[in-house]
Structure 1
Amino acid sequence: MKRKLLALILAMAASLSLAACGGGSAPASSAAPAPAGSSTAPAESAGGDAAGNTASGGPMKITLITMDQMDVHWVKLEKAAHAKVDELVAGGAEIEYNWLAPEKKDNAQQIQMIETATNDGSDVIIISVNDSTACNDALQAAIDKGIKLIYVDATSTLEPSATFATDNYAAGAQAGEAMKGYLADAGITEGTIGLISAQAGVQSCIDRVDGFKSAFDGTSFIMGEVQYSDGDAVKAQELTNAVIQDGVIAVYGANDGATNGAANAVKEANSNGANIICVGFDNSSSNRAHVRDGEMLAFMAQNPNVMGEKSIEAAVALMNGEALSESNVDTGVSVVTKDNVDQFED
């Protein structure tokens, strides 16, 4: 009798243990912890069908990878992307969102982040690549796994599902036309123009420099050799000091850090009697201050908020099996001067 009672008790315990194991999986709405340098929006409801569920029934997983964490352009883009995710989640979409970025521009680190996103099961990778070819193998591996690829701002040579970026060549040409106007106003008809860029191989900056140069075709102005600052303002200032000593009559910065550093050098030179004209790229508090103070006459303001919002919308549409109305979108620029700089506050 005792043996029968003991057997019955053991059988009931085993049954309860199996029930606990079978019903204890985490709900699909749980978001994975964000890696260092990332942020995760909570997943609350759907992704991949009309409600947003992926084929596996779990949350849609979107990873944003930017060139770095320090440039205000990427901070604004990520903030807009995250806000759009929060909006969609509040409306019932189930999205797990991560932001990954090297502290400073680094191809090897960016490749590692693509591999991390791929191995972690991302459905969509939204990326601004440091170099137009360096990340291709890692990106192709992601595509081969069925991951959707969306570019923001800077592209690789691989075909994406969508691109949301400034037409950087056209924007560079706008910057060149603005510079030509300022040179004409100053009565300067010839001389060498210094070119301060970010990192060699960044296609967006290559296009901005090439577009800028195109505005001076047929003139007597000479384009200096491109100086690479890695987007670091201190390095850009040192490089600009050197080209000013070499006798340039104007300086062009191709991204935020390059522009900020160039303007700092121009401010110092002009305070000592020089008359260097400076035009640059990207809207930041430092560049707005340079325009207000007069050492920089204009900069091109991109629309990172549009890039962030539209890329998330496209990611969700693609995972829902929807056709995109536009797959290659020019997000535009504005010419910011002392006359309109107040309109471009954050």
Structure 2
Amino acid sequence: MSRRSRFARAGLTATACVLAFGLTACGGTTKESVQSQAPAASASASASASANPGAPLKEGLKLAFLPKAINNPYETIVDNAGIEAAKEFKAEAKEVGPSDASASSQVSYINTLAQQGQDAILIAANDPNAVCGPLQQARDKGIKIVAYDSDTSQDCRDIFINQASSEEVGRSQVRLLSELIGGEGEIAILSATANATNQNTWITFMQDELKKPEYAKMKLVKIAYGDDDDQKSFQQTQGLLQAYPDLKGIISPTTVGISAAARYISSSKYKGKVTLTGLGTPNQMRKFVKDGTVAKFALWNPKDLGYLAAYAAAALSSGQITGAEGEKFTAGKLGERTIGAKGEIILGPPFTFDKSNIDEYDF
């Protein structure tokens, strides 16, 4: 069996930010504070409805994808795949969103989509707290909320489509970097925004993984934030390398960050001296793998993520599922999926790309 077929069978068709656990944000509030501010019922009336697994998918559903930022290449891949998937069940889908990934930038779009009477809003949250109130108001109008890539508070959505287990994403990034640098040296993390849910979750597991005895000779010296902006991520990479002359490796669990960091390192004196890994797409990273800047990096299939999110939104809007643990639905070509604890559906494990396989994938 070829690598491509094994990859497809793992639920990772050809397409590829994080581990993603992915999350982005800002501000000084916490997830716990948002939950305490949410209404006691915390869910729209539909959340208490009974699922009807045998119900057909409704035709003519209106779905709206709200990415962290519309100029994020990874988010574009995800959303376009979801929009194409919607055609399979005769729904109307679109992508709208801000051009920056700030904490509150998505709020006005949520309000507008709610006024338009969308059947479902699919959101990759920049900040779990800033979007919670508006999402709750949309749910009160009967609109289904599907978080994907980067979660919001559990009280403010129906389900979360997670690209991979957050714990596995975080821990595997540390394992991968340790393998590449021989298990010792100073390391840094180049993240997206300081409040991104997925990023912060992954980083928490990275920090916990680093506590294990086998990483005793590795030291995390800095967590930097490029705000999912190419130029800022480029500058943050430069700053890390200047501030820490003994730096051995960088983990960037964001597609924007890893490509910007690779671009800087590839034309600097640090090429071949500082190891970079993280989460990226094959098309972004191909030239950096081939020129020796990056040996290995990871990701899942972003097209499958968008595809699964679209079908989950349709299943919710059609009454097949409510978001309760244990419910099942069929996601087109991806087959049957089961909702896990806290309304989470996991796409599948991350996949490692290197020079031996990267040309097999085009996304």
- Which position in structure 2 is the counterpart of 1:263? 262
Aligned-residue offset at 1:87: 1.9
Tell me the SS of whatever aligns to 2:260. helix
Unaligned runs of 5+ in 2: 1-54, 322-326, 329-337
Aligned-residue offset at 1:258: 0.8
Cα distance in structure 2, aligned partners of 1:275 and 1:51: 54
Give the partner amino acid of 1:266. I
Tell me the SS of whatever aligns to 2:315. helix
Q: Which of 127, 133, 153 is the aligned partner of 1:131?
A: 127
Q: How many residues align structurally? A: 284
- Which position in structure 2 is the counterpart of 1:96? 92
TM-score, structure 2 as length reference: 0.73
Aligned-residue offset at 1:284: 4.6
- Which position in structure 2 is the counterpart of 1:167? 165
- Which position in structure 1 is the counterpart of 2:317? 319
Structure 1 pair 139/172, CA: closer, same or farther in 2 (3 Å)? same
Structure 1 pair 109/158, CA: closer, same or farther in 2 (3 Å)? same
C-alpha contact 1:269 1:276 (8 A) present in aligned 2: no
- Which position in structure 1 is the counterpart of 2:41? none
Cα distance in structure 2, aligned partners of 1:119 and 1:67: 20
- What does the per-residue CA deviation read over 1:203-262, in whole Å, with 9 as the maximum and x for residues that have no partner? 111122223333322312111221111112221121111211222111111201111121
Q: Which of 224, 229, 236 is the aligned partner of 2:233?
A: 236
- Which position in structure 2 is the counterpart of 1:40? none
TM-score, structure 1 as length reference: 0.77
Computing the radius of gyration from Cα coordinates, the structure with the larger value is 1
Structure 1 pair 212/265, CA: closer, same or farther in 2 (3 Å)? farther
Give the partner amino acid of 1:290. F
Cα distance in structure 1, aligned partners of 2:191 and 2:158: 28
Cα distance in structure 1, aligned partners of 2:270 and 2:189: 21
Is 1:333 the counterpart of 2:327 in the alignment? no
Unaligned runs of 5+ in 1: 1-48, 54-58, 90-94
- Which position in structure 2 is the counterpart of 1:52? 58
Q: Which of 209, 219, 228 is the aligned partner of 1:215?
A: 209
C-alpha contact 2:127 2:197 (8 A) present in aligned 1: yes
Give the partner amino acid of 1:223. L
Q: Which of 219, 222, 225 is the aligned partner of 2:222?
A: 225
Cα distance in structure 1, aligned partners of 2:286 and 2:161: 25
Cα distance in structure 1, aligned partners of 2:264 and 2:258: 10
Cα distance in structure 1, aligned partners of 2:354 and 2:203: 20
Computed over aligned residues only, the root mean square deviation of the Cα atoms, in angstroms, reads: 2.0
Cα distance in structure 2, aligned partners of 1:279 and 1:69: 25
Cα distance in structure 1, aligned partners of 2:188 and 2:284: 20
C-alpha contact 1:283 1:344 (8 A) present in aligned 2: no
Give the partner amino acid of 1:256. T
- What does the per-residue CA deviation read over 1:16-63, in whole Å, with 9 as the maximum and x for residues that have no partner? xxxxxxxxxxxxxxxxxxxxxxxxxxxxxxxxx74726xxxxx42211
Tell me the SS of whatever aligns to 1:224. strand
Tell me the SS of whatever aligns to 2:289. helix
Structure 1 pair 51/203, CA: closer, same or farther in 2 (3 Å)? closer
Give the partner amino acid of 1:203. T
Cα distance in structure 1, aligned partners of 2:219 and 2:188: 9
C-alpha contact 2:64 2:113 (8 A) present in aligned 1: yes
Cα distance in structure 1, aligned partners of 2:357 and 2:122: 32
Tell me the SS of whatever aligns to 1:249. strand
Give runs of aligned pairs for residues 1-346 of structure 1, distance below 5 A: 50=56, 52=58, 59-89=60-90, 95-159=91-155, 160-165=157-162, 166-184=164-182, 189-217=183-211, 218=213, 219-245=216-242, 246-247=244-245, 248-270=247-269, 275-323=273-321, 324-325=327-328, 326-327=338-339, 328-331=344-347, 332-346=349-363
C-alpha contact 2:85 2:307 (8 A) present in aligned 1: yes
Give the partner amino acid of 1:329. I
C-alpha contact 1:270 1:276 (8 A) present in aligned 2: no
Cα distance in structure 2, aligned partners of 1:340 and 1:270: 27
Cα distance in structure 2, aligned partners of 1:141 and 1:293: 50
Cα distance in structure 2, aligned partners of 1:296 and 1:250: 11
